[in-house]
Chains A and B, each alone.
Chain A
Amino acid sequence: MTFRAAYAAHFYFMAAIKTEKITYRKPGFWQRLRTGNLNDTQLGLLLLAPALITLFVVMLYPVLNVFWQSLRGEHLLRPWLGSPFVGLEHFQKILWGRNMVWDLQNLLSWRILGIATLLPLWWFAARGVLKRWTALAWTLTILVVFGFLLGLHPGDSGRWGDARFWNSFNITLLIIVLSVAGSFLVGLPMALLANITSPLRWLVRLAMLLPWAMPRVFTGLTFAWLFQSDYGVLNDLLARAGVNNLLQGVLEPNLIGAQGILWLSRVVPAIIAVNITIIWKTSSFVGLILLAGLQSIDKSLYEAATVDGANAWQRFWSITLPMLRPAIAVALIFRTLTAIQTFDIPYAMTRGAPGRSLETLGLYIYNTIQASNIGYAAALSVVLFALSLGITILYLRWIYTE
């Protein structure tokens, strides 16, 4: 290229830039990344990418996959069938039965109890104390709980397509109610005590953090040994306190062995033992959340109340509890969601024994997978997922409306 041509080209380019015929290419993505000139959205997406990709692949994809698998009848012991599309057959088997005629007694008791709890609820709703939607949500919950716990569930009479599912559903519901309520009742005083400055504070904290950090399996094994009916320390302590002799006449004789209550080999004691174990393991978590709630309460509120002559009990009811409400809600949500998935502790303590009385929903799903019935296990997982989703939505409604 001659000098003249280059000279002419220079002027041509200058003119072209002025008239915006040619624009310089903007620096590319990687160049701007190197020089640190990305805008917020680009940098943000770049930083969020690893976390979001992990969550998509490991959490979201499996959930969608489970929904899909639940419609197919894969069974690893019958590989020649492949995984045929069966539609909602699994759900029909889980949620419905062969002969759904309720007997009159069950129906009556269910109706009476339902009406007895629903009437005040709707009375409050009509008076405007409760929001309509809240009342409706609680109505549904009560119907489900009363329906399955008291009336609708006919036990092993075989009317349900899958009585084993309803058994596991009931025990899971029972564990949710007992252990969440229990861990809250233990966790609240725990938080109040841990809030006090005392020379033993570090020991209190250790006593609260140890149950939290202890693996659930270890907890289950430890408590299985404590509850052991012949050589367990609990029965020994009960015997020393004289409780054993007291119980001898009161309890049914088949619940009591030579050394005391047969904790893990009879149904009702086993349910109590497992719940106590779960409460020991989880109440410290509730306590820690409530402790944080306590520490965020403005101290001047208490001083004002004391000046006005309120005693400790009144201060607790009218300041501490209302101010703790958000922390209580959070603790309850977390606890309920973990209680739905109860698996480790019953597995470690009794593997669901005696019989199948402690087979929670989680254990049932695990056993179904072990029995190679993959499609059915997926359908059960969908039910579990729907249950936790429903409970979360219910709680969130409760938080946001009040």
Chain B
Amino acid sequence: MSRQSPFTARLFTNIGLILLIVAGLFPAIWLILTSFKLDGELVRLPITYWPDAATLSNYVQVFERNPFARFLLNSFVVSLGATLICVLFAALAGYALARLRIPGRRLILTGIVMTSMFPALVLLVPLYRLFVGAEIPGLGISTPNLLNTYWALIIPYVALSLPIATLILTSFFQLIPEDLESAAMVDGSSRTGALFRIVAPLSAPGMVTAGIIVFVNSWNEFLLALTFNTSLMMRTVPVGITFYQGEYAFPWAIISAAVTVGIVPLVALILFFQQRIISGLTAGGVKG
């Protein structure tokens, strides 16, 4: 296309591309530049673009003012836990929906996908109640208090990402040729055997795709983390970051440094798995 197109068309395309790249990356670049500036430089006019005296003190401050390393650890544990459980559940469900002749399987898939439109806000009060722990009537035992534990976040994150993960993995299993599996079964392997020896290795890319999306979703979640885990040591990164701003003071340099540290894992994921993320997002989107 671009070979035959006239000069003006190419010019517009290139301008558009540069505009897109600048608009997409500028906020992040500005964030990083801000994170290296000293406090005095931030409130000086005219504003400077390149830091005068680059400093790492903001990054030190990030870890000194709040237990930021602990926030990172919390986020990692919660997101990884949610990812592993969610992908496992979604893979089992996706296999069943893609391969087995279950009565009403389209209905089940539609039902699962429809739950993704439930606003997380609606879940806030009842889940809080559920996690506080209460005696189960009639049984004489009570559910544990899950608030301020990792489970209080892992459980809802699994549920919130299950619809998209199931959708991705169902469409992925449908792509694996069924003949492979029947061949294994003819060779004497049972259905479960075929599942674990043939299908599971082949579906690893699909699971990675779904896993990245679940991980990013869980890493980014804010509302439930803000409400359920209120003790300082159990906060996740997105919640922890909002506590750097005081009542009236906004230490922008420190906030910028904290945000920069917080997006490093996400940028690493993007750089490594670009194509996978795109295919996963669109598989979920186009099918749904």
How near does chain B come to A296, taking the closest CB pair, in angstroms? 8
A288 touching B238 in the complex, CB below 8 Å, given contacts A54-B162, A210-B24, A231-B43: no
Q: Mark the stretch among B51-59, B60-68, B118-126, B200-208 that contacts chain A.
A: B118-126
- In angstroms, Cα B166 to Cα A55, docked, is 12
How near does chain A come to B281, taking the closest CB pair, in angstroms? 5
Contact indicator A385/B277 (Cβ below 8 Å): no
Contact indicator A221/B92 (Cβ below 8 Å): no
Contact indicator B166/A51 (Cβ below 8 Å): yes
Contact indicator B262/A54 (Cβ below 8 Å): no
How near does chain A come to B114, taking the closest CB pair, in angstroms? 8
A55 touching B112 in the complex, CB below 8 Å, given contacts A206-B274, A221-B255, A285-B281: yes
Contact indicator B266/A196 (Cβ below 8 Å): no
Q: Which of B114, B119, B162 contacts A51 (CB 8 A)?
A: B162
How near does chain A come to B188, taking the closest CB pair, in angstroms? 11
Contact with B along A35-49 (1 / 0, CB 8 A): 111101101110110
Q: State the B residues within 8 Å of A (CB).
A: 1-2, 9, 13, 16-17, 20-21, 23-25, 27-28, 30-31, 34, 42-47, 49, 88-90, 92-93, 95-97, 100-103, 105, 108, 112, 114-115, 117-127, 129-130, 155-156, 158-159, 162, 166, 190-193, 216, 219-220, 222-223, 227, 237-239, 241-242, 250, 252, 255-256, 259, 262-263, 266-267, 269-271, 274, 277-278, 281-282, 285-286, 288
Tell me if A24 is interfacial: C-beta within 8 Å of chain B: no
Nearest-neighbor residue (CB-CB) of B282 within chain A: A292
Tell me if A203 is interfacial: C-beta within 8 Å of chain B: yes
Contact indicator B190/A213 (Cβ below 8 Å): no
A210 touching B25 in the complex, CB below 8 Å, given contacts A218-B263, A289-B281, A330-B288: yes
- In angstroms, Cα B288 to Cα A331, docked, is 10
Tell me if A226 is interfacial: C-beta within 8 Å of chain B: yes
| Residues of chain B within 8 A of A66, CB atoms compared | 122, 125-126
A205 touching B278 in the complex, CB below 8 Å, given contacts A59-B115, A66-B122, A196-B13: yes
Q: Mark the stretch among A85-93, A112-120, A376-384 that contacts chain B.
A: A376-384
- In angstroms, Cα B130 to Cα A63, docked, is 12
- In angstroms, Cα B241 to Cα A215, docked, is 11
Number of A-B contacts (CB under 8 A): 289
Report the contact-size class of chain A (Cβ under 8 Å from the partner): 35 or more
16 contacts between A and B (CB under 8 A): A35-B190, A43-B192, A50-B92, A58-B159, A59-B123, A62-B123, A196-B17, A214-B28, A215-B220, A233-B49, A280-B23, A292-B286, A334-B288, A377-B125, A385-B122, A389-B117
| Residues of chain B within 8 A of A202, CB atoms compared | 274
A interface, by DSSP: helix, strand, loop or mixed?
A: helix
Tell me if A193 is interfacial: C-beta within 8 Å of chain B: yes
How near does chain B come to A70, taking the closest CB pair, in angstroms? 10
Contact with B along A206-217 (1 / 0, CB 8 A): 111111111111
- In angstroms, Cα B88 to Cα A47, docked, is 10
- In angstroms, Cα B1 to Cα A395, docked, is 35
Contact indicator A217/B242 (Cβ below 8 Å): yes
Within 8 A of B (CB), among A329-363: 330-331, 334, 337, 340-341, 343-344, 347-348, 362
- In angstroms, Cα B118 to Cα A191, docked, is 28
Contact indicator B100/A40 (Cβ below 8 Å): yes
How near does chain B come to A341, taking the closest CB pair, in angstroms? 5
Contact indicator A344/B117 (Cβ below 8 Å): no
